[in-house]
Amino acid sequence: MKITSLTSTLAHIRMLLPHRCLLCHQQTEHYQQQLCNTCRDDLPFPEFLCLGCANEIHQHMMFCGQCQIAPPPHLLITACHYLSPIKELISSLKYRKNQIAARELARHLALRVTDCVERQQIELPQLLIPVPLHFTRQLSRGFNQAQLIADHLGELLGIPVGNYCRRIKPTPAQAQLNAQQRSHNLDGVFQLSQSFEQSSVALIDDVFTTGSTMLELTRTINQQHNVDIQYWCISRTLI
């Protein structure tokens, strides 16, 4: 009885404490909501995105014309393009250490994943693997944003999350490099830390730009496993 009473008291206290939207900073309706309803509704979510390049298309089909001509080896699932206000929400997570933003980002991506499953465009993978950070960068930041997003996605979609890969070389951030530098920046940076039994996986990251990170991680996994791999990212930068 005492434990139940304490739990109830703590829940009541949390309800009374300020709980503000991460974007507009207005009060949300519930302490477990990190975005107000208005800001959540404002998050970009195009009805149709190509599952090859994540460009917007205007009808229900898997691929745009270009990707139909040259089908991609791996499906790319994104919630939206890297635009406001999703851009600010990702920055809040990565650079202002608002880890609670990871759940809202994961929720947004889960909507797209669920939509693709319902349209019978994809099957849910058996395992989620977050793109790893080098330990020096993770120590500096305090967390791996891809890990946080993957953990929430796993809870929302009922998929296990595995840390089966590690980053063995520190590299400059991809955003700081030009296209030519990016193409070689990640050569040999990943290593499979342990084996796994699942036959389908999704690699999880926050932003997809050129795909260099995902491709290098895919090469690393394929050295030991013959698995179906999807790429799941919150957003795709417009190039």
1 domain residue, yes or no: no
101 domain residue, yes or no: yes
14 domain residue, yes or no: no
Q: What is the dihedral of CA 46, 51, 54, 56, to 10 degrees?
A: -40
- Residue 228 sits at φ, ψ, to 5 deg, of -80, 130
Query: What is the tens place of the pLDDT at every residue in 172-203?
Result: 766 666 667 766 778 889 999 999 999 999 99
181 domain residue, yes or no: yes
Which range of residues forms the domain containing residue 76? 19-236
In the chain, how many domains are there? 1
Indicate the residue type of 104.
E
Q: What is the pTM of this model?
A: 0.88
12 domain residue, yes or no: no
For residue 214, with 0-12 CB atoms within 10 Å meaning exposed, 13-18 middle and 19 or more buried, which class applies? buried
**The CATH number of the domain where 52 resides is what?**
3.40.50
8 domain residue, yes or no: no
**44, HSE (Cβ side, Cα atoms, 13 Å):** 19
Interaxial angle between packed helices 86-95 and 101-118, expressed in degrees from 0 to 180 and rounded to the nearest 10: 130
9 domain residue, yes or no: no
| pLDDT level of residue 1 (50, 70, 90 thresholds) | very low
Helix (H) or strand (E) holding 181: helix 179-185
13 domain residue, yes or no: no
